Structure 1
Amino acid sequence: MKAATIYERKGKLYVHSSSKTTAGLWVINAPVLALEMEDIGQVGRSIKECLAASREGVPHPVSFTNLFDPVLDLAGVKSFGTFVKSAKCVEIEANDAETVTLIPTRNEGADGGFVPLPNRTETTLGSDEAMGSAAVAALAMSV
């Protein structure tokens, strides 16, 4: 499986790849991208790029401190707590080369994180615009 995450915060989007460690946990990895929501094609391209970088079997981190720092740096904030206060999140999973599942989430703050909602959307890895539009629509379902 491949995974990525997209966040919307204060009108900007942040997308990152995720990889599964040898211990079975998913962690953030490069690329970590910031983009404008209005450029739907770029949103789709960024998601595809992040999914392509997702791997399984990466070394398990010794420390989980600072793993989210690349997103915080792009957003210009110092803590996850600050970032999460006004963020929406969609988890993205790809089990094959064509189908992508977009999972809207409920924001439960810095302590609870983002909890998946049941209203998942499936789309294909077709055009960049279609992928970007589906992601933006899924973000609108997140609370």
Structure 2
Amino acid sequence: MKAATIYERKDKLYVHSSSKTTAGVWVITAPILAVDKKNPEEVGRALSECLAASREGVSHPKSFTSLFNPVLDLADVKSLSTFVKSAKCIEVETRDDMAVTLIPTRNEGVDEGFAPLPDKTETTLGSDEALGSLVGTVLAMAE
């Protein structure tokens, strides 16, 4: 499986690849991109790039404290708490590099994170532009 995550905060989307460690934990990995949410083709292209970079068997981090710092830097935010307070999130996965599943989440705050809303899941086989357009639809379902 390949995975990525999209965060919406203000007028930007922050997209990153997720990779599975040797201990079986999914962690944030490069690329980490900021894109204009009003450009579906750019959003879809960024998401496709992040999914393509997703891997299994990456080294398990010794510390998790700074893994999210590249996203905070792109958003020009000093703390995870500030970022999460006004963010929406979509989890994205693909098992066959064709069908892409987008799972909206509910923001439960900095301590609890984002809880998946599997009953609102959407899947697409389309182009980058179709994928980017679906991101907007799924973000509207995120809480």
Interval containing the TM-score (normalised by the shorter chain): over 0.9
The corresponding residue for 1:120 is 121
Q: What does residue 102 of structure 2 align with?
A: 102
User: Residue type of the partner of 1:68?
Assistant: F
Aligned-residue offset at 1:136: 1.2
The alignment status of 1:38 with 2:38, answered yes or no, reads yes
Within a 5 Å distance, the mapping from 1:1-143 to structure 2 comes to: 1-118=1-118, 119-124=120-125, 126-143=126-143
Is the partner of 2:139 in helix, strand or coil? helix
Q: CA deviation at 1:97?
A: 1.9
1:38-79: per-residue Cα shift (whole Å, max 9, x none)? 111000000000000000000100111100000000000111
TM-score of the pair, normalised by structure 1: 0.98
> What do you get for the CA RMSD once the two structures are aligned?
0.6
Tell me which amino acid in the other structure corresponds to 2:77. V
Gap regions ≥5 residues in structure 2: none
Give the residue type in structure 2 aligned to 1:123. Answer: T
Match for 2:122: what amino acid?
Answer: T
Runs of 4+ in 1 over 2 A off after TM superposition: none
Unaligned runs of 5+ in 1: none
SS of the residue corresponding to residue 111 of structure 2 reads helix
- Alignment partners' CA distance in 2, 1:128 and 1:103: 17
Identity of aligned residues (%): 68
Q: Which amino acid aligns with 2:124?
A: T
